[in-house]
Structure 1
Amino acid sequence: MRVALGVSYRGTGYQGWQSQPGGNTVQDRLEQALANFLAAPVRVMCAGRTDAGVHALNQVVHLDCDAEREPFSWVRGTNRFLPDDIAVQWCCAVDDRFHARNSALGRRYVYVLRESPVRPALEAGLVGWSFRPLEAAAMRAAARHLIGEHDFSAFRSAECQAASPVKILRRIHIERRGAYWRFEFDANAFLHHMVRNLMGCLVAVGSGTRDADWLQGVLRSRDRSLAAPTFAAGGLYFVGPYYDAALALPATTAAMDWLP
């Protein structure tokens, strides 16, 4: 039996998604909770690995097991063994051909940024921060250079394990809500640190340090050293993957209404 789960988590206290020897990752905590619930070892496959400090609203995982449970039992039973900052949101039985990563048609991220002369306090670890005023028109003009199929090597970390740096960036939407900026990214897939590296460049343009056409030159160069520094992890949220509508997997969670 193959089961898909939607998982949300606050990444502040974890060393990212992927299992590590120290055990302090979201995957380690989730697999341990599932093992306690099922009384058997469990391995899960996720739709997209997140870095240390990065959050998720609807991370999708799949697992294979012999146990049969009602969907609500999977949710409540697993959450009983999870810490407060990780929670299963939904459960669906899926066909054996479903794969959380390979079946995804695309993935979405949101970066939340506070523009303020003073650093965040209540939102520390949950938003990025710019003390410089940002210009929306400049950032949107720069973002247009990134849309489409490109080699994103200039925004790829040295530790990236992706087979190819070529990705299709379908959409970047930038809007301001009071003191907070929301940057939405939609692509078929993302490279390691890609969104955070793009954010560093967009903020450089928005603050007037660079002009919009500079970002086009960085993209074409394929040279990571020419791009801005990697932006902070705390403001980044993995909204989740999306799949063929025929699979009828939940695409939203309650936390999406909370996010600014």
Structure 2
Amino acid sequence: MRYFFHIAYQGQYFSGWQKQPGVKSVQEVIEQTLSKILKTPIAINGCGRTDAHVHASQFFFHADIEKEITFDLLYILNKALPYNIAVFDIMKMEGKPHARFDAVQRKYDYFVHTYKDPFLSTQSSFYQVNNLDFDKMKAVVALLPQYKDYRAFCTHPDKYEHTICNVMEAALFVNPKGDRFRFHIASNRFLGKMIRIIMGKLLMVGKGELSFDEFESELITLKAAKLSLPAHPTGLYLSKVTYPYLNLAPRTEFIHGEATQWILL
């Protein structure tokens, strides 16, 4: 029987979602915990592959569990997992739906604070910059849904069959003081480090180091106009995953709650 698990995790102490030799991953911790509880080896498949130190405020994985579950697996699993991984729902599925390949939309949010704050240090990226030009940043963000090929905005583009992404949403939000902002993007798929590369270029635009025309030329020519570094992984969240047959509201408060008032630019 195939089950979908609806979870969230803080990624700062993990080397990403995917299992890798010699490092701690979210996938490995969950597989080991499930296998111990169910007393049989369990393999899981996630809806994506977040980088090291990247968070997920909504994430899904599937697992095939042959034996009937006669106890409260949700409760026991949450008790056994570390504090930075939470399980919200466990759903028995019909047929063989796939957590990764069936997803039709993924949303990400990237948070930046421009003043030093120890309480934001693991939740948002700290960039000590003043007087960012939010109008110019908003203008380049508005370009993103107009283009499909993101070859210039990923690492190792040749490893993909193609670099086409259907970006459906892109927006910039700022808090009332103007010292924190949030970049939001939704697409059917994302390439390696794509959002962090976009974010790095967005910061360059805000600082006056990259013009609107140079940014757009990268979308047109598929070549980088200027060398840029990907933004820090901390601050990036996979925030929503949607399937044709499953569209659950996220359960976490940091992004989806009302603690911070975000103003759409």
- TM > 0.5 between the two? yes
SS at match of 1:77: helix
Is contact 2:151-2:157 (8 Å) kept? no
Equivalent residue, structure 2, for 1:147: 145
Change (3 A) 1:114 1:160: farther
2:194 alignment counterpart = 194
The change in CA–CA distance for 1:93 and 1:224 in structure 2 (over 3 A counts) is farther
The aligned runs of 1:37-116 (5 Å cut-off) are 37-69=37-69, 73-116=72-115
With over 3 angstroms needed to count, the CA separation of the structure-2 counterparts of 1:67 and 1:55, relative to structure 1, is: same
Q: Which residue matches 1:170?
A: 168
- List per-residue Cα deviations over 1:74-127 (Å, max 9, x = no partner): 3212122211111112111112231111111110000011123xx332211321
2:125 paired residue among 119, 123, 128: 128
**Mind listing any 5+ residue stretches in structure 2 that lack a counterpart?**
261-265
Alpha-carbon contact 1:136-1:175 (below 8 Å) kept: no
Distance, in Å, in 1 between the alignment partners of 2:80 and 2:168 is 38
Deviates more, 1:161-170 or 1:2-11: 161-170
* Alpha-carbon distance in 1 for matches of 2:194, 2:26: 21
Q: CA deviation at 1:129?
A: 2.3
Does residue 24 in structure 1 map to residue 24 in structure 2?
yes
Q: TM-score, normalised by structure 2?
A: 0.89
How far does residue 148 in structure 1 lie from its aligned partner after superposition?
A: 3.7
- Note if contact 2:147-2:219 (Cα within 8 Å) is conserved in structure 1: no
The answer for unaligned runs of 5 or more in structure 1 is none
Q: 2: distance between equivalents of 1:221 and 1:11? A: 34
Within 2, Cα distance between the matches of 1:149 and 1:74? 44
Query: How far 1:17 moved relative to its partner?
Result: 0.6
Deviations 1:168-226 (CA, angstroms, capped at 9, x unpaired): 11111111113321111100100010000000011111122222222101222323573
Name the SS of the counterpart of 2:51 in structure 1: coil
In the aligned structure 2, how far is the partner of 1:81 from the partner of 1:3?
Answer: 19
**How large is the Cα RMSD of the aligned pairs?**
2.0
2 CA distance for matches of 1:159 and 1:73?
44
Aligned residues: 255
Q: Tell me which amino acid in the other structure corresponds to 2:162.
A: S
Instruction: State which drifts further: 49-58 or 96-105.
Output: 96-105
Residues 218 and 226, structure 1, Cα contact 8 Å, conserved in 2: no
Q: What is the CA–CA distance in structure 2 between the aligned matches of 1:37 and 1:153, rounded to whole Å? A: 43
Pair 199,160 (structure 1): closer, same or farther in 2 beyond 3 Å: farther
In 2, Cα distance between equivalents of 1:258 and 1:99: 32
Output the CA distance in 1 between the equivalents of 2:38 and 2:147.
43
